[in-house]
Structure 1
Amino acid sequence: MSPRPRRSALPAVTVLPAVTVLLAASLALAPAGGAAAAGRDGHQDGDRALRARLRELVERPDGPPGAIAVLREDDRVRVIRAGTAEVGTRREPRAEDHMRLASAAKAFSGAVALRLVDCGLLGLDDTLARRLPALPADWGAVTLRQLLDHTSGLPDYSRAPEFGALLNADPHHVFDSRHLLDFVAGRPLEFDPGTRYQYSNSDNIAVALMAEAATGQRYEDLLASQVYRPLGLTGTSLPSGYRLPRPYLHGYDVQPPAPPQDVSTRFGASGAWASGGLVSTPADFSAFAAGWAGGPLIGDATRAQQRAFVDGASEPAGPGTNRAGLAIFEYTTRCGTVYGHTGNTAGYTQLGAGTPDGRRSLTVSVTAQVNETGSPDLLAHLRAVEEDFVCALLAP
């Protein structure tokens, strides 16, 4: 990579009071149980139905051992759960349990980038040639905008045979996260930038590298200053190793009739980095989902650019009809529209979404990997459950 420029001044951090209250409320309510939290808000009957929907998922032979959802409206929080946080125990999933966010981490790298756009340190039309001249010249015309909405054409490093071979030989292999694109540096773009949508893990690696080049600061530090502190997130981190902070939701490989296999720490995070390496909690993820979907995390002009949608689904697809914006997806359901991101990795599948005003948010986290390739029927079931939760979120 090219030498880093001198450190640039970044915008001051302002903690959002409503989200800070949300975080405290989430943690306070979580141990009390979903029914108790629901009863305080007058949603007991509706939450009983939602809990039954989660229970249907975890009771499937191929279902995740645990599931937890967090719904918030302003400072009111409802925590709904089913199953167990760890097979062989009776411990329920809790809002302060750590978990892998998988590709929902792409929304965080998008948040860093758009905060830098807001303060003029990055431009959506900045190119790789300008910001990262050490990358292949053939990729030079790709813009930050195209990286964020997956229309860049960058080949996906995570599909490179050399990357897969290293991971198969040692799942805990520590990659140089800032050189993950080296695995595909000899390959041309897969299509002309901006001409079509193709989800690629390479995109958000390049986004993080552009943010570092623009500021002279490490991406991990930018996450702290531009996302964690403004939103009051205290349980979110970007590790390089395979361990998870305790307590954590155990993630499983579910292949019936064999018993679920714990894969929580099977893989290290360095090979995913800005594309999927984040660890968070349901409480933090809910706070982020609200701030990212709406509210003052980014300015109105940047928000308008973020919501210039193209046809394309998140991975895995979220509820309803999906369209892709700048590190955010539009999910149009039978009950209305929310904005957010999904993710899946070994042991975990995530949805985080919120309303355009940032007043309401929803997260659904399950402790197994669910996607179209491995479990299409289970994914269809999960998406239907997610849509029911969206309807509950948007209900008056």
Structure 2
Amino acid sequence: MSRTHTWHRTGCGGTGHSRSGYGRSAAVTLAAAGLLAAVACTGPASSGPPAASPTATSAASPRALDPAVAKRLDKAITQVLRQTGVPGVIVGVWQPGKGDYVRAFGVADKSSGKAMSPDLRMRIGSETKTFTVTALLRLVDEGKVRLDDPVSDYVDGVPNGENITLRQLAEMRSGLYSYTDDPGFDKAFMSDPDRVFTPQQLLDYAFKHPVGFQPGERFQYSNTNTILLGLVIERASGLSLREYLDRGVLGPAGLGNTLFPEGTEFPEPHAQGYTDQTLDGEEANATDWDPSWAWAAGAMISDLPDLRDWARIAATGTLLKPATQAQRLRTLPTGFPGTGYGLGIFDNHGWIGHNGSLPGYQSVTVYLPRTKATLVILTNTDNPYKGNENSTVFAKAITGIVTPENVYSLPAAPASPPPTASAASSEASAAAAESSAG
């Protein structure tokens, strides 16, 4: 989705922009989670598991990460850092048999001038969606839920809930309004970033709005979908979302530096995160803002080594039964060229994974099955660059050098007015949907 929104933005069917996906506003930094900040619209989809969407492929091999290529990457990343005004960035590229590239550029703390380093933890926004949906799919494999169950079996009061399936929530095809697009939510969060929200309070903002379209009719990134999946996981497992993620996903995956925070905890070492996507347009340090507003859609924290492992785990399905993973990767059109969205994950020009954005931080974690390459990018600002998420600008430059046949590229979303009358700065949204946070 952004506070965590990386994917969202306009809304087919009048849903407006969303903070959790791909786009953003002065306050829209809220979109939790990341994916295409712009919302795509597509025609009706058939019920049940859709056919797999085409993936960019080529016989061409990616470039070896030798000193010459590393030098080109250093130059390109430094240039993007300067152009975008991003304080700092961590980059990891791993290609079996062709070398690794791990670097950090810029600063982790603008006040002290402390350099960015590859060992720092970061907030990952909508990448949280990949973990939440993996937890759901683990419950599918355990026989505790079915993807085609209506959400009304687990959560009361959902508009049209008897007709919206868990699959459609994970696919971003429910028609439910994203709470991060609601002006009242926007004002409540941005006027008090330390406020604690409950999942039900988040849903209340969404459910004030009419359903935008019939389930399955089109793609539209909505953080509301993933909040509901978090509640489904709690109902079906009998555990809190954090407990089930720890036991069912993070533990089995061996991700010791990844966590779903219960409050504002942010284990050291971590980078400071900065945003100018505020009501008055002034830059703020968002490092310790309460992430409860993003919850299952974008609250998680991780680091470079864990995300390297997670990119492969999520894309290859090592925690899931093969048939379940096959359903996950059956992507549907999003309306963005080269990008399809499956069950909480996207395929962008062959790269499988998700992006993330929330106040102070952006990220991209993707895996290229064709070559088994992995790319992770972590930045300590969510400020957009010419309508693009800054993480997308880095990813496009890096993949253009390393995997020119598979260039990661999410489209910029058009600028739109800020969602609240008090927001002084214009809304600039960013990059793109995926086969998605948060």
TM-score (norm 2): 0.71
CA distance in 2 between counterparts of 1:380 and 1:73 reads 20
Residue 239 of structure 1 is matched in structure 2 by 261
1:107 to 121, 127, 130: 130
Shift of 1:79: 1.1
Q: Does 1:329 align with 2:352?
A: no
Question: Given the alignment of the two structures, is residue 365 of structure 1 paired with residue 378 of structure 2, yes or no?
Answer: yes
- CA deviation after TM superposition for structure 1 residue 243, in Å: 4.5
Contact 2:159–2:207 (8 Å) recurs in 1: no
One-letter code aligned to 2:341: A
The 3 A distance-change label for structure 1 pair 143 and 301 is same
Native 8 Å contact 2:86 2:390 kept in 1 = no
How far does residue 311 in structure 1 lie from its aligned partner after superposition? 1.5
Amino acid in the other structure paired with 1:131: Y
Identify which of 32, 40, 44 aligns with 2:67: 44
Match of 1:66 among 88, 109, 121: 88
More displaced stretch, 70-79 vs 193-202: 70-79
Q: Which amino acid aligns with 1:322?
A: T
Matched, 1:160 2:172: no
Q: Which amino acid aligns with 2:143?
A: G
Query: Which ranges of structure 1 fall in alignment gaps of 5 or more residues?
Result: 1-40
RMSD: 2.9
- Counterpart for residue 391 of structure 1: 403
> Which protein, 1 or 2, shows the higher relative CO under an 8 Å CA cutoff with sep ≥ 6?
2
Residues 354 and 378 (structure 1), Cα distance of their counterparts in 2 relative to 1, 3 Å cut: closer
Judge conservation of contact 2:362–2:378 (CA < 8 Å) in 1. Answer: yes
Secondary structure of 1:265's counterpart equals: coil
What do residues 334-364 of structure 1 show as CA deviations (whole Å, max 9, x unaligned)?
xxx2201011111211100013389532111
Which segments of 5 or more consecutive residues in structure 2 lack a partner in the other structure?
1-63, 408-438
Match of 1:7 in 2: none
| AA matched with 1:220 | R
1:342 corresponds to: 355
Change in 2 beyond 3 A, CA 1:310/1:377: closer
Distance 1:200 1:42, change over 3 A: closer
Aligned to 1:122: 145
Q: Does 1:171 align with 2:184?
A: no
The structure 1 residue matched to 2:209, chosen from 176, 187, 196, is 187
Alignment of 1:1-396 (within 5 A): 43-60=66-83, 62-73=84-95, 77-132=100-155, 134-136=156-158, 138-253=160-275, 261-265=283-287, 267-312=289-334, 321-332=338-349, 337-356=350-369, 359-371=372-384, 375-376=387-388, 381-388=393-400, 391=403
Q: After TM superposition, give the deviation of residue 140 of structure 1 in Å.
A: 2.2
2: CA distance between counterparts of 1:378 and 1:103? Answer: 15
Aligned pair in 2 of structure 1 residues 94, 311: CA closer, same or farther (>3 Å)? Answer: same
Q: CA 1:169 to 1:278, structure 2 compared with 1: closer, same or farther past 3 Å?
A: same
> How much identity, in percent, do the aligned residues show?
28
Q: Counterparts of 1:102 and 1:393 in 2: how far apart (Å)?
A: 28
1:361–1:393 Cα contact (<8 Å) kept: no
Aligned pairs, how many?
Answer: 340
* Counterpart contact for 1:54–1:81, Cα < 8 Å: no
Separation (CA, whole Å) in 1 of partners of 2:121 and 2:189? 23
Could you say what secondary structure the match of 1:213 adopts? helix
